[in-house]
A and B are shown apart, each in its own frame.
Chain A
């Protein structure tokens, strides 16, 4: 379903974020990307979203070269992906409800669907009482949960989770991981980038380890080893 083929990404002036990385992710798989900060985890996810272009190599999503997709057709790719960003990336002038609803609005969902689904997902992430608050009025953990809710709401084919539990307490961390596992059970591919050792070791899923931009390990039912 997703294929990174000999990906190298160099940032100016000469910082190599990824160095000849190649791997594939099958549909319905749960893959953990691990590595130290700066290992290239976020860069990989950005390349899949076509937020950035690789310096060399190709990224495929369902046999389609992501970097050959025209600018006006990119939304169609992104609607198939739910992204949970490390820095939340919430819309500052929209309420929690509106931020989550936005992902449904762009795909043309009806107002009734939006009202129903957003209420459901807010209950799942425990933010029903925060629906009318703005991001600036939320804690880091709450913002993270809004970002998660927005990534899930439109039932994407793939979820890219970049440090989704970075700002959560252990109680919410466990809930979110359970939620990602449940979504995966229902058939959604999940790529989880994290450096949380406990989560990785408890999951028993495929683990891809990156170090200084290189893929150094790819194990089925792997563990956090750096």
Chain B
């Protein structure tokens, strides 16, 4: 067995070098295919970031009656925090609400004078509740409306924000669905293009395959070099792709950071290097070996 493997590897390496044009075409197509797959990974990262950024801006506020004691509110806070759908709960005291309001509207004298005229702090203490996903706010709102503490709750502003929350939920879920459909289509297209290129290269070798069979070669002895050549092409395609994407991510990093300061695609590339390498090498090897396997099958029937 080792001698057969050695011969298969030697034969494939020689063919790879001798059939340079065909090998280069295969590598080029594989680079295209795995670039498409890597782009999807990067696109997924960017879209996740954007979806999270949008969802971050959504919350539901629970306002408490003026006379509610702070310790009662903190007790309710703990209870809300225990709901599985809840990601975070922030307590905003009456004083903090006033301070925030003052900071936000200090350049608007009319508003500031109106507050002073009331004589007391007119703001209610509140809890800002964030759920993990936009579609979970309904459950949080239902819990708050039906809690034993409903007599101390002044209002839950979910219904006022419901249309915007629903819109965000629809947008993000549509974005996700579109991403999945787009990914599947792109992967299929990439696979078909690579498959057809490799199939054409093997079609050109059909006479060679026939001769090998007639000389007494087993199916695997004939097929082996084609599979191995696929692996070698996949290896080179991965190397090219890695360098290409490192340069692209590095070049685009500052431009993306200008639009989204918290997003660094180069940092993502570096931190996910091994995952990207694994995805690229696996997709290149799977595409090329599977294509070779399918394409050689029909010519081996001699």
Using a CB–CB distance below 8 Å, which chain A residues touch chain B? 49, 51, 71-72, 74-76, 78-79, 83, 85, 89-94, 98, 102-103, 105-108, 110-111, 150, 154
Contact = CB atoms under 8 A, between A and B. Distances in A.
B208 A75 contact: no
Contacts of B214: 49, 51, 78, 83, 85, 89
A75 B221 CA distance: 11
B15 A105 contact: no
Given A91-B208, A93-B208, A106 B19 contact: no
Interface in B13-67: 14-15, 18-19
A92 B215 contact: no
B4 A79 contact: no
Contacts of B218: 72, 75, 106
Given A93-B15, A105-B7, A110-B3, A78 B211 contact: no
Contact of A71 (B4, B18, B208, B301): B301
B213 interface: yes
A93 B216 contact: no
B4 A103 contact: no
Contacts, number: 58
Given A51-B302, A71-B301, A91-B208, A106 B217 contact: yes
Nearest to B209: A91
Interface of B: 3-4, 7, 14-15, 18-19, 207-208, 210-219, 221, 300-302
A71 B263 CA distance: 58
Contacts of B219: 71-72
A75 B216 contact: yes
Contact of A108 (B3, B15, B207): B3
Given A51-B302, A110-B3, A103 B208 contact: no
B91 to A, nearest CB: 74
B208 A78 contact: no
Given A75-B213, A83-B215, A106-B212, 18 more contacts: A51-B214, A71-B300, A72-B218, A75-B217, A76-B216, A78-B213, A78-B215, A89-B210, A89-B211, A93-B208, A94-B14, A103-B216, A105-B221, A106-B216, A106-B217, A106-B218, A108-B3, A154-B216
A91 B213 contact: no
A72 B218 CA distance: 7
B3 A106 contact: no
A90 B210 CA distance: 11
Nearest to A72: B219
A107 B208 contact: no
Contacts of B18: 93
B159 to A, nearest CB: 71
B212 A102 contact: yes
Contacts of A79: 216
A42 B253 CA distance: 68
Contacts of B210: 89
A93 B19 CA distance: 8
A106 B221 contact: yes
26 contacts: A49-B214, A71-B300, A71-B301, A74-B213, A75-B213, A75-B216, A78-B213, A79-B216, A83-B214, A85-B214, A89-B210, A89-B211, A89-B214, A90-B211, A91-B212, A93-B15, A93-B18, A102-B212, A102-B215, A103-B216, A105-B221, A106-B215, A106-B217, A106-B221, A107-B216, A111-B3
A61 B19 CA distance: 38
Contacts of A108: 3-4
